[in-house]
């Protein structure tokens, strides 16, 4: 069984004119979002994107854009309560999150 999350939400963008087809994004993407077609990278399945930002960080040509963030409800609640950016920080010990 495959795990799939909400559709049409990911903020991932690919600027095709800046892409050289080096393939780094295919290498780092943990969810097989990209494919090489006609010597350029294309977003094959955007709904699989979890906005981790690995492709953006590793694109030497700045062809990728995403609003990176933690996909963690507990972090977002803590962000709302403390008025800060949600960050992946479960070190409080009372957290429901099992990430880190």
Partner 1 sequence: MEISTRELKIMPTSSKLTFNDVVGTWKARWGINRMNYTVEPGLYSVGKPNRNSPVLVSANYKMSFDSLRKELDGVEAWILVLDTKGINVWCAAGKGTFGTQELLNRIAVVQLEKVVSHSTVIVPQLGAPGISAHVVAKFSGFKVVYGPVRARDLKEFIQLGMKATREMRTVKFTTYDRLVLTPVELVGTFKVSLMIFGVLFLLNLLGLGPFGLVDFYGYMGSVLVGCVLTPVLLPLIPGRAFAWKGWMLGFIWAIIVNVLNGWNEWTAVPQYSILKALGYILILPSVAAFLAMNFTGASTFTSFSGVLKEMRKAVPAIIISLVLGIILLLVNSFI
Q: What is the closest distance, in whole angstroms, from the C-beta atom of residue 56 to partner 1 in the complex?
A: 9
Residue 97 interacting with partner 1 (CB under 8 A): yes
How many Å apart are CA 3 and CA 89, to the nearest integer?
24
CA proximity to 95, closest of 84, 52, 81:
81
Show the binding pattern over residues 29-68: x = contacts partner 1 (CB under 8 A), - = does not.
xxxx---------------xxxxxxx--xx-x------xx
How many Å apart are CA 46 and CA 97, to the nearest integer?
25
**Residue 13 structure tokens:** 């963008």
Residue 24 interacting with partner 1 (CB under 8 A): yes
Interface size with partner 1, residues (CB under 8 A): 53
At residue 45, the 3 state secondary structure works out as coil
Residue 88 interacting with partner 1 (CB under 8 A): yes
Q: What is the closest distance, in whole angstroms, from the C-beta atom of residue 16 to partner 1 in the complex?
A: 20
């Amino acid at each position: 069984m495959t795990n799939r999350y909400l559709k049409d939400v990911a903020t991932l963008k690919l600027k095709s004119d800046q892409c050289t087809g080096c393939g780094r994004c295919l290498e780092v993407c943990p969810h097989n979002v990209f494919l090489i077609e006609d010597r350029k990278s294309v977003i094959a399945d955007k709904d699989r994107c979890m906005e981790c930002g690995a492709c953006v960080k590793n694109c030497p040509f700045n062809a990728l854009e995403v609003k990176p963030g933690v996909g963690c409800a507990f972090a977002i609640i803590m962000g709302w309560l403390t008025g800060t950016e949600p960050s992946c920080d479960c070190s409080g010990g009372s957290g429901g999150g099992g990430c880190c």
